[in-house]
Amino acid sequence: MSAPVAPARALPWDTARGALRARGLRWTPQRRLILEVLAGTTGHITGAELVERCRAHDAATIPSTVYRTLDVLEDLGYVRHSHGADGREEYHVLPGAEHAHLRCLGCGSVVEIGRDEALALVGGLGSSRGFTVVLSHVMIGGYCPGCGPEVS
Amino acid sequence: MSAPVAPARALPWDTARGALRARGLRWTPQRRLILEVLAGTTGHITGAELVERCRAHDAATIPSTVYRTLDVLEDLGYVRHSHGADGREEYHVLPGAEHAHLRCLGCGSVVEIGRDEALALVGGLGSSRGFTVVLSHVMIGGYCPGCGPEVS
DNA sequence: CTCGCTATTGCAAGTTGTCGCAGGAACGCC
DNA sequence: GGCGTTCCTGCGACAACTTGCAATAGCGAG
């Protein structure tokens, strides 16, 4: 009864079970499904999207379970969330590298800025204000070259 | 030196009616109420809060009307919105000065960064990537001196 | 002052998340 | 292999918005 496990990237998804148990948390079919879906995902995914994909595998998937699992997974560092342009939840799968976000207010596209470039921009806040910047929580809105400043 | 809180008031709220008409939009009792409530507000306010305050004046206030009015007002530049830590709508009343936001992931406090300081940080993206930064859509997350990097 | 055009409103239904609860299910232990 | 402890799940209710529609009411025109 092993479902066609997605040929996920060689990432610590396999360690998830152990990570959960190590914290006294449990490994359940539900969580396993969510992990599997997540393993086959790259980049961003919204909560609603994840719920839908899970439902594709198991129609009995309940939203609240998904959201709660996502919370746990974030706690463990497997995903990280932020909010999209419309304020909706958006999860970053396997935040391997710290990065900031550049979001085009015109087309909605999101570009990631590497750690170094981002730090060069906002890292200074650490010394000037004693503020410890968390790159994955840096969101810079504006207009990309393609969209250009919008005229209303 | 951080300038004291700007004496927000004596602002072009009075021009609102004209601004609306100039665009072929209408001046309605509902909008007037919302403008009035907004005029008595400083800083941030969430959509839900605004709805509630309006209801305090007129129990018949309907949420959708408030939200739609807020959209119009934003179009006219009277307010600006962003999303709070929980992704909920948050409106900045009378964004007199463009500013970016620094949000503490620990205590949730939000500090505004003046136009100049903010531009010094991210303005460079304009030349390096052809990206036009919109300061009010710049959100930098991290930990303030008081909270310090959280250990999780 | 009346009329007509169309922006707005009020309402209802739909999304996306969150929360509290009670039964069910993992896990570790004996 | 049983048992008990606790974590989870499923579910319904709720909060915060959003959107479509038909009826209403600003506003300028005549």
Residue nearest to nucleotide C25 (CA to C1'): A28
d(CA B72, CA B23) in angstroms, rounded, equals 11
Locate the chain B residue with the closest alpha carbon to A90: B87
The C-alpha of B65 sits at a distance from chain A's nearest C-alpha, in angstroms, of 19
Q: Which nt sits closest to B61, CA to C1'?
A: C10
Return the amino acid letter for B70: L
Are the Cβ atoms of A132 and B141 closer than 8 angstroms?
no
Max Cα-Cα span within chain B? 55
Are the Cβ atoms of B140 and A137 closer than 8 angstroms?
yes
Q: What is the dihedral of CA A80, A83, A84, A85, to 10 degrees?
A: -150
Task: Give counts: helices (H), strands (E), chain B.
Answer: 6, 6
Residue that wins the pLDDT comparison between A38 and A127: A38
Convert the pLDDT of each residue in B14-62 to its tens digit.
899 999 999 999 999 999 999 999 999 988 899 999 999 999 999 999 9
Q: Are A102 and A113 in contact (CB under 8 A)?
A: yes
Strand D nucleotides, any atom under 7 Å from protein beta carbons: they are 6-13, 15-20, 25-28
Round to a whole number and report the distance in Å from the CA of A24 to the C1' of C29. 15
Residue A125 has its nearest CB partner, among B134, B140, B152, at B140
Q: What pLDDT is attached to residue A1?
A: 45
| Joined tokens for residue B140 | 């930098």
Summarize the confidence of residues B86-115 as an average pLDDT. 80
For residue B4, pLDDT beyond 70: no
Q: What pLDDT is attached to residue B6?
A: 42
Strands of chain A (E only): list them: 44-45, 79-83, 89-93, 100-104, 110-113, 132-143
d(CA B91, CA B46) in angstroms, rounded, equals 6
d(CA A70, CA A74) in angstroms, rounded, equals 6
Q: What is the dihedral of CA A108, A111, A117, A120, to 10 degrees?
A: 20
Round to a whole number and report the distance in Å from the CA of A151 to the C1' of D7. 54
The C-alpha of A46 sits at a distance from chain B's nearest C-alpha, in angstroms, of 13
| Joined tokens for residue A108 | 């909605």
d(CA B71, CA B80) in angstroms, rounded, equals 9
pLDDT tier at B150, thresholds 50, 70, 90: low
Residue nearest to nucleotide C19 (CA to C1'): A64
Q: Are A112 and A103 in contact (CB under 8 A)?
A: no
Go through chain A and tell me how many residues it has. Answer: 152
Question: Cα B141 to the chain's mean position, in Å?
Answer: 17
Are the Cβ atoms of B75 and A152 closer than 8 angstroms?
yes
Convert the pLDDT of each residue in A33-77 to its tens digit.
999 999 998 888 999 999 999 999 999 999 999 999 999 999 998
Round to a whole number and report the distance in Å from the CA of B17 to the C1' of C8. 15
B76 and chain A in contact, CB less than 8 A: no
Q: How much of chain B, in percent, has pLDDT values that exceed 70?
A: 86
Q: Is the CB of B25 under 7 A from strand C?
A: yes
Sheet containing strand A89-93, edge to edge, reads: A44-45, A89-93, A79-83
Q: Are A92 and A130 in contact (CB under 8 A)?
A: no
For residue A81, pLDDT beyond 80: yes
What structural domains does chain A harbor? 12-93 (1.10.10.10), 100-142 (3.30.1490)
